[in-house]
Amino acid sequence: MKRNRKAKYRRILIKLSGEALGGEAGVGICPEAIHDMAKQIRQVRDLGIEVVIVVGGGNIFRGLQGSERGIDRTTGDYMGMLATVINALALQDALEKLGVATRVQSAISMAQVAEPFIRRRAIRHLEKGRVVIFGGGTGNPYFSTDTTAALRANEIGAEIILKATKVDGIYDRDPKKMPNARRYTRVSYIQALQKQLKVMDSTAFSLCMDNKMPIIVFDLFKPGNLKRVVQGENVGTLVSS
């Protein structure tokens, strides 16, 4: 498949939080929010870029919060993994309604609704122009979907992780509480650790740092931002070596 010359990357991984699929409320599934995401993903796909997506499940259930309320941590994490599959199916539906061929692969076996995660099969789907959505986390408790994103990005040979958020990058302080907070355009892995910038959880961040996997944190809710990122415009914050 021919890649558009304007595209900076050949293969990308997009990390979507569950809250992003919940729209402004961040809870449940918001059809409008998912449709807007699907449109942005199609724009990028139309540039000839191979797209992989990892979705969270926090809009439905988060294992860590469940354990704080008395649910066994391992059980809660598995419940959270199932939530990510629900989100993956919702996003698949929105993408296919826009004519984008999509496959969902799950780290937890559920043959009726998703393929099992098989690295070679995922790469073959990408080569055929399909968007691949990974659900079910890593298939193991105690690992976040950020860690899933870091793991899968390295496994399938992505060039970058695009972490889609509701904030336009990484700040030195919470921009919602501190109006004078400064946004970084670029930080190193070491700076992010030293300054305790909340990029990803420590396990995910270590995977990226050890394998020199760059991360861009950006605001997905600004129309056209995803396309601008993959075209190399100065959007969000780049974390690299």
Structural domain count, the chain: 1
Look at residue 3 and tell me if it is in a domain: no
Domain span at residue 103 reads 11-240
CATH assignment of the domain containing 24: 3.40.1160.10
Residue 180 confidence (pLDDT): 87
Q: What average pLDDT does the chain have?
A: 92
Paired residues of 14 in beta bridges: 53, 162
Structural domain includes residue 4 = no
> Is 179 part of a structural domain of the chain?
yes
pLDDT the model gives residue 211: 96
**Residue 6 placed within a domain:** no
Residue 67 CB partners (closer than 8 Å, separation 6+):
73, 76
pLDDT band at 174 (very low <50, low <70, confident <90, very high): confident
Within a domain: 166 = yes
Residue 132 lies in a domain: yes
pLDDT confidence of residue 69: 86
Q: 22-41 pLDDT, tens per residue?
A: 988 888 999 999 999 999 99
Least confident range of 9-23, 105-119, 129-143, 189-203: 189-203
Nearest to 15 by CA among 229, 215, 236: 215
Is residue 5 one of the residues assigned to a domain?
A: no
Query: Cα(34)–Cα(182) distance, rounded to whole angstroms?
Result: 30
Lowest mean pLDDT among 29-43, 53-67, 87-101, 221-235: 53-67
Residue 121 lies in a domain: yes
Instruction: Tell me the C-alpha distance between 183 and 235, whole Å.
Output: 11
Mean pLDDT of 178-201: 88
Would you place residue 239 in the very low, low, confident or very high pLDDT band (cuts 50, 70, 90)? very high
Q: Looking up tokens 């990357």, which residue turns up? A: 9
Whether residue 2 is predicted with pLDDT greater than 60 in this model: the reply is no
Place of tokens 């691949």: 132
Core vs surface per residue 71-98: b (16+ CB within 10 A) or e:
eeeeebbbbbbbbbbbbbbbbbebbeee
Q: Tell me which of 51 and 25 has the higher pLDDT.
A: 51
Kindly report which listed range (57-66, 70-79, 84-93) carries the lowest average pLDDT score: 57-66
Q: Could you write out the three-class secondary structure of the chain?
A: CCCCCCCCCCEEEEEECHHHHCCCCCCCCCHHHHHHHHHHHHHHHCCCCEEEEEECCCCCCCHHHHHHCCCCHHHHHHHHHHHHHHHHHHHHHHHHHCCCCEEEEECCCCCCCCEECCHHHHHHHHHCCCEEEEECCCCCCCCCHHHHHHHHHHHCCCCEEEEEECCCCEECCCCCCCCCCCEECEEEHHHHHHCCCCCCCHHHHHHHHHCCCCEEEEECCCCCHHHHHHCCCCCCEEEEC
What string of H, E and C letters represents the secondary structure of 98-123?
CCCCEEEEECCCCCCCCEECCHHHHH
